[in-house]
Chain A
């Protein structure tokens, strides 16, 4: 359990080599080993959604995923969402415009979840957005603005 294993992670289009114990979560690998702290730790037990990242395009909780489980798969975190020239993803821009966050701590997870929610085809109505975004808690209470941002971004993505 405590001996380190070399692994390769593909994160945001870049290959990272690191040595971690098998018990290291993807969340801690991102935050503590690679310095990618945009992915947040809100509960470390799969309850809040703050650590949502994409693995092969699907939204997953990085705190319930071991780093070694992500080997050979494409991981996207909040840092990899904007284009290389800095152009924001439509969901990021909509979050800013709609003021869909306050403290900002749940925000990367919300945005990653929202991108997947739209891609899954679950942004068809406000009620559907509420339901499919319900796994990402926001204690500041930005929910109505998150719904507005996802609705706006879904329209932009569709066009």
Chain B
């Protein structure tokens, strides 16, 4: 069942609450409750791999138990004779696949792609797969596959002596002024190293897919942040036309960056389905989610700040390193916040990547900005104590009035307002400056502040809007809703543009047969899709009004009006003279079954190839510094931490964050997303760490009991305050990014609070008790 088949049984719950006063809940900017909510709270929402198909078989992966070396042999005899087994796949019997284009649009080498490895480059790599009639049979048989290896020494992580300094990434270099010389002569100098561990997306819905071939047409039910990008990958792997691959992903149980690409297990399942001639379901197990795709790379940064005696920054020298895999490339841009948060006349940032035996790392909420902010927002806090001024004051003293890197004005930057509003709500003025100066019994209390930012990633979008005979409206897009609220804000956009109640709008997402869409990532989707739906709905409205004015059978025909008003699903003349009819009545009288309009925000001269590139790569995205402005979301977090003086345990007890995401399309849902980012940031600061067994190069805490994410008991009340104003340089309707922003700056705000509480500066995450006692 999909969202358009669900009608809420409680009319008022669909309207949400209109606490914005003037803004109706269902208008853009109103607090409409999630329109996909009723499906999700009743269990009716069917996620991708929950489709019930006839003849479904089940695949289970077999993974390498070494981190480096070669597969010597795979003994499949026992597995093949196990009950119910249909197929055991190894590198010896795979179909030949092509290498696919990457997400940047780089043409692939003319070389085969094999999702099962003979050459092992990390522990947990797929080496074989078993397909059986039932899930239980496949699990049992997979345990019978015997793989022997010739093991070679692995580089287990960044601290491995064999790891070396890595490869310079020249595109990450940012330089202006003479940073080294200015640092050397600065009156106040601090320099420290900041580390973040491997972190994992850990969405509650594990990855997986159902693949079904019908002739040379492939249908893939798979949770996806990017249906069209993944469809392209499947099409290229199997050498079939793009149009032959259909991706279906009606709901996504969380992605956080991890569900944008087709991965090796997808190739395995689709290959098995082709070989067997029947649908195959492959559910990645929770432990496998730690190695079937990459989490956030471990990072190392050094930040050197040179300042005058009043704390005005004269130089920033920044060096960063992130791990990547042996044969893949992932760059976590560590200088992204460093280079824009504060005004500095001299700046230098460089970055290396170091190859280690890991799965290639990937995107996790605010890739780059998140660890970057941990470095600079910790460092400026250290500078504040060094020169003896308030941590909030030093941030204002170094406020960047324009983008220091590209020397362009900000489109909007409500960061000063965020500091002011957040500080007032938090009560920052009552803070005692000295570390260890605030306590409650045996709990040391610390108050910390840090800022965050995320660039406005812009792209082009298209959407289909239909007005149906009964006056209801359909919106179609192959974009997705993984909890950000796409279903809801697109219903609001179409409702407001067309003048119909939001409950009469049905939004259909998550099927690549709908109007194509680019990636959902980097907080770009809301801005892209509200713009596209607004455009399509405007075109549909123009058609509707045109019909009403010009069709001889229209009740408005005799009125000779230039235009008409559509509101609450009814049409009338602007002056109120003449008839008033419902949309359904008008369509009935002119004999039309529907009105249909495609709308897009793409340049008029684009070719079909341009659109294909726009929807299946990120090559057509607009830089955030394109044109006259530099565009970013901004935030300031104020956090209270309590540290048990005897045990060193840290609890976050209070959070106030003020955030500038521009105009909010739906504050109720945006606040939820901000809080979600903050909560993930609390987990990152205090709990999350992928632990590597140094003997075997293996992640040992590859499950949700050992890889700790925040639980309900870890999270206090969180107050979020919007300080944004509409930013029309950033999007058609004035919004900036929401989803990535909230997490950026949370970890340094907590580290700063812990320093204030204890006098101990923890520079490597997570902040666990052994680092404090």
* B710 contact set on A, CB distance < 8 A: 141, 143
Closest to A145 in B: B672
User: Which residues of B in the span 117-139 have a Cβ within 8 Å of any Cβ on A?
Assistant: 134-137
**B570 contacts partner chain A, Cβ-Cβ < 8 Å:** no
A42-B286 in contact (CB<8A): yes
**B13 contacts partner chain A, Cβ-Cβ < 8 Å:** yes
**A64 contacts partner chain B, Cβ-Cβ < 8 Å:** no
**A125 contacts partner chain B, Cβ-Cβ < 8 Å:** no
Closest to B52 in A: A35
Closest to A111 in B: B41
User: Which residues of A in the span 76-95 have a Cβ within 8 Å of any Cβ on B?
Assistant: 77-79, 81-82, 86-88, 92-93, 95
Contacts A38-B44, A96-B41, A106-B204 given: A43-B703 contact, CB under 8 Å?
A: yes
B679-A143 in contact (CB<8A): yes
B9-A87 in contact (CB<8A): yes
Contacts A42-B205, A103-B205, A143-B715 given: A97-B13 contact, CB under 8 Å?
A: yes
- Of B251-259, B329-337, B529-537, B630-638, the one touching chain A: B251-259
- Closest Cβ of chain A to B301, distance in Å, is 26
What total of A-B pairs shows CB separation below 8 Å?
196
B42-A78 in contact (CB<8A): yes
B204-A137 in contact (CB<8A): yes
Closest to A108 in B: B43
**A45 contacts partner chain B, Cβ-Cβ < 8 Å:** yes
**A7 contacts partner chain B, Cβ-Cβ < 8 Å:** no
**B83 contacts partner chain A, Cβ-Cβ < 8 Å:** yes
A147 to B709, CA, bound (A): 18
The digit string for A37-56, where 1 denotes a CB below 8 A from any CB of B, is 11111111101101000000
Closest to B33 in A: A96
Contact of A2 among B46, B83, B718 (CB under 8 A): B83
Closest to B46 in A: A37
Q: How many residues of A contact B (CB 8 A)?
A: 64
Contact of A93 among B13, B204, B484 (CB under 8 A): B13
**B380 contacts partner chain A, Cβ-Cβ < 8 Å:** no
User: Which residues of B in the span 36-84 have a Cβ within 8 Å of any Cβ on A?
Assistant: 36-47, 50, 52, 83-84
Q: Which has the most chain B C-beta neighbours within 10 Å: A88, A103, A131? A: A103
A46 to B41, CA, bound (A): 21
* A77 contact set on B, CB distance < 8 A: 43
B251-A141 in contact (CB<8A): no
**A11 contacts partner chain B, Cβ-Cβ < 8 Å:** no
- Closest Cβ of chain A to B81, distance in Å, is 13
Contacts A35-B52, A42-B205, A147-B712 given: A141-B679 contact, CB under 8 Å?
A: yes
**A32 contacts partner chain B, Cβ-Cβ < 8 Å:** yes
The digit string for A1-28, where 1 denotes a CB below 8 A from any CB of B, is 1100000000000000000010110001
Contacts A136-B712, A139-B204, A139-B709 given: A88-B83 contact, CB under 8 Å?
A: no
Contact of A105 among B253, B669, B675, B712 (CB under 8 A): B253
* A1 contact set on B, CB distance < 8 A: 140
Closest to B252 in A: A103
**A74 contacts partner chain B, Cβ-Cβ < 8 Å:** no
User: Which residues of B in the span 286-341 have a Cβ within 8 Å of any Cβ on A?
Assistant: 286
- Closest Cβ of chain B to A62, distance in Å, is 13
**A61 contacts partner chain B, Cβ-Cβ < 8 Å:** no
- Closest Cβ of chain B to A21, distance in Å, is 6
Q: Which has the most chain A C-beta neighbours within 10 Å: B39, B42, B251, B717? A: B42
* A107 contact set on B, CB distance < 8 A: 40-41
* B482 contact set on A, CB distance < 8 A: 102-103
* B52 contact set on A, CB distance < 8 A: 35, 37
* Given contact pairs A45-B703, A88-B41, A134-B713, a sample of 4 additional A-B residue pairs in the complex whose CB atoms are under 8 Å apart: A42-B253, A99-B33, A103-B483, A141-B680
Identify the 7 closest CB pairs spanning chains A and B, nearest first.
A38-B43, A105-B253, A102-B483, A141-B679, A104-B40, A141-B676, A103-B483
